[in-house]
Structure 1
Amino acid sequence: MSCQPLADFDLQPYNSFGLAARARWGCEITELDGLQRLLSEPKWRELPRLVIGGGSNLLLSCDFAGLVLLNRLKGIEVTETADAWYLQVAAGEDWPALVAWSLQQGMPGLENLALIPGCAGAAPVQNIGAYGVELAQVCEHVDAFNLLTGQLERLPAEACRFGYRESRFKGDWQHSHIITGIGLRLNKHWQPHCQYGPLAALSQPSAQDIYERICQLRQAKLPDPAVLGNAGSFFKNPTVPQALAAALKAEYPNMPLYPADNGAAKLAAGWLIEQAGLKGYRLGRAAVHQEQALVLVNLGGATAEELLQLARHVRQTVHARFGLWLEHEVRIMGAMGEWKEALSCAD
């Protein structure tokens, strides 16, 4: 099946902030052959590209000057051994639906990642994580189309350099690889991960217990993008040296603190923003969510610039209070691609 891009493509339905934006060209990708044929043509291959799945982790700061590809690749295949289930998932599959389906099939292991919005293909880009579990812990490989070679590749998880909300798909592979699928390994010798925050109160929980509790927590605090435009957690939880964490804990005894890799400590960005007095703060039609300070929302009619100004204000206010600069987790897109200095340039 061929894919013929459409000019002046409306992006407002495809970003969860609900921001008005357009692309010079855009099309849906439903088959791998269509993707390969499209990008074999220099006219399309040489344009700036933006791949959108669920559009749940994007802030479109302006119109996009290149080609937008809507990833609509579908399909789930399952194989198993005595020790594990192996899921091959097409990149356009809805992530929350995948988590629910895997539990319905009696295959636990994804429950801590319940209700994270977006598609499966976006999961490796950010190395999505929640409640003590990250995608990297269950990812076996990532399938991608290599624009440099014109070939499909299977990339082992260790080659992806997964980190905290990081991967090579945000770095040196950002412009050369388009994710087409992921391979997951779910251990049949399942062990619960319930040490994080409110999950610790669960006693000998099943995977379904953990899933239901996380769904309750997320639905209670996180706004539905269909009702209130947002992109989920806007900022990363900062990782700091133990000495700094200890000094902050001494000054703020109620400050949440979690262990991180290499002996560091992880702070709760939402708590920092709330303590800085910003919960519910408004700037034009953009606001810090009144229930979860980590989420910035479009109250209806917000502009991209209002959201960017609000994010900068949050960073500056938290820095003034705690001496820490928050990093944005949401990917901010400019006319030609990702705008990584969108916030820091105003500091």
Structure 2
Amino acid sequence: MTIQENVSLRPFNTFGFEAKARYFVEVQTPDELRNLLLDPRWKEVPKQILGGGSNVLLTQDVEALVIRIGIRGLEIIREDNEYLWLKAGAGESWHNLVLHCVQNGYAGLENLSLIPGTVGAAPMQNIGAYGVEIKDVFEELEAVEMHTADLRCFDTAACSFGYRDSVFKRALKGKYIIVSVTFRLRKQPVFHVSYGDIQKTLADMNVQVPSIEAISEAVIRIRQSKLPDPAVIGNAGSFFKNPEIPQAQYEALRERFPELPGYATAPDTIKVPAGWLIEKAGWKGYREGAVGVHARQALVLVHHGGGTGQQIRDLAEKIQRSIEEKFGIRLSPEVNFL
């Protein structure tokens, strides 16, 4: 475990922004992480955790010890006739985990194919797509308390999952570092194909009988058709959350915008697609120097090269003001700002 100084974080964020970490280290095991946190030389130094860098906006140099989580490993820890429980290291690639499950017939994660980032970041965000969220397949996670280096187990209730949310983004923000996540996966799949374009894409693929392999491939095709590859153009995927608004507000907006989509998520609560709002306000395909809004998906802010994280932040704030003025809705970012 080597601690480096003044390290460029450009390779470690999918926007591709240049920023430097005052100190930088990658940990490979939970014990390495715990020893680092207990080391008196680093005890009082501010710390920042980094996974895949796919959900972070670097707006400045990071005057802290940046700890990149490189903890790997996949292990079936128990199984019964219906389920198996798969434990994954927090540093594993999320998409590689999904592919591993699909290839081995472990059902439950196939709708979450091609989401960037690492396993450890997934429960923090309660990532979700096409009708499935982490909380639907989650069993427990292990996390290290940053101050004491104690290892603690969190079950579903303790994580307090919400829409793209968990206790680790609220009361326990910055207090724990996730080192492993255990998923409860089905041996006999229950398919989720009613959300988005999955059924249409399966039909285009000439799939008569669904399978987790086919659903994963369909989701990959849909995401590739809508979302830019960070290797080609810098981005962090969906930049804003889909807002949830009172049904009365939704119905009032429908009088002005009859085509406004919405999905009931709770009694008297409607989720509205943020991408639709942004596109309707005229931002789709907008470019401002080195940054802009993707031409095919208005929910994605992009970095064309040579720009800064602050420029993306400024653009995001302009979009927020515009949506609030036009629709009376305040968009919240999914991306974490540093």
TM-score, reference length from structure 2 = 0.94
Give distance in 1, aligned partners of 2:256 and 2:163: 27
Cα distance in 1, alignment partners of residues 173 and 297 from structure 2: 30
* Structure 1 match to 2:291: 286
> How many angstroms apart in 1 are the aligned matches of 2:83 and 2:117?
25
Question: Aligned letter for 2:56?
Answer: L
The CA deviation at 1:257 is 1.2
Q: What letter corresponds to residue 175 of structure 2 in structure 1?
A: S
The unaligned stretches of length 5 or more in structure 1 are 334-347
Partner of 1:339: none
Residue 233 (structure 1) aligned with residue 231 (structure 2):
no
Per the TM alignment, residue 114 of structure 1 is displaced from its structure 2 partner at its CA by 0.8
* Alignment-derived partner of residue 141 in structure 2: 142
Does the 8 Å CA contact 1:127/1:135 hold for their aligned counterparts?
A: yes
Alpha-carbon distance in 2 for matches of 1:247, 1:45: 54
1:310 corresponds to which residue? 315
Matched residues in 2 for 1:92 and 1:262: separation?
A: 38
One-letter amino acid matched to 2:227: L
- The answer for the alignment partner of 1:344 in structure 2 is none
Equivalent in the alignment of 2:166:
167
Give the match for residue 24 of structure 2. 26
Provide the TM-score with structure 1 as the length reference: 0.92
Query: Do structure 1's residue 246 and structure 2's residue 245 form an aligned pair?
Result: no
Counterpart selection for 1:271 from 262, 276, 280: 276
Structure 2 counterpart of 1:153: 152
Tell me if structure 1 keeps the 8 A contact 2:107–2:190: no
Contact 2:105/2:212 (<8 A) preserved: no
Indicate the residue corresponding to 1:322 in structure 2: 327
CA distance in structure 2 between the partners assigned to 1:52 and 1:61 by the alignment: 15
Which residue among 219, 225, 234 is the counterpart of 1:214? 219
- Per the TM alignment, residue 235 of structure 1 is displaced from its structure 2 partner at its CA by 0.2
Q: Percent identical across equivalent pairs?
A: 44
Q: Measure the CA separation in 2 of the matches of 1:330 and 1:96.
A: 19
Residue 31 of structure 2 aligns to a residue in which SS? helix
Corresponding residue of 2:129:
130
Q: What's the RMSD between the two structures over aligned residues? A: 1.4
Aligned to 1:185: 184
CA contact (8 A) 2:159 2:167 kept: yes
Greater shift after overlay, 258-267 or 202-211?
A: 202-211
Which is further off, 50-59 or 200-209?
200-209
Contact 2:140 2:154 in 1 (8 A): yes
- How far apart are 1:204 and its partner, in Å? 5.2
For residues 203-232 of structure 1, the C-alpha deviation after alignment (integer angstroms, 9 at most, x for no partner) is: 752222221111111001101111100011
Give 1:35-46 correspondences, 5 Å limit: 35-46=33-44
- Cα contact 1:284–1:306 (8 A) shared by 2: no
- 3-state DSSP of counterpart to 1:218: helix
Is contact 1:55-1:118 (8 Å) kept?
yes
TM-superposed deviation, 1:282: 1.3
The 3-state SS of whatever aligns with 1:225 is: coil
Amino acid at match of 1:67: L
CA apart distance, 1:200: 4.4
Q: Is this contact kept in 1: 2:278–2:319, CA < 8 A?
A: yes
C-alpha contact (below 8 Å) 1:123/1:135 kept by paired residues: yes
Residue number among 50, 53, 60 corresponding to 1:52 in the alignment: 50
Q: SS at the partner of 1:120?
A: coil
1:32 Cα offset (Å):
1.8
1:62-84 deviation line (CA, Å, top 9, x unaligned): 00111101111000001321110
Report the AA paired with residue 320 of structure 1: E
User: What is the SS of the residue equivalent to 1:44?
Assistant: coil
1:293, CA displacement in angstroms?
0.4
Query: Deviating runs (4+, > 6 A) in structure 1?
Result: none
**Matched residues, number:** 331
**Whole-Å separation in 1 of the counterparts to 2:70 and 2:313:** 29
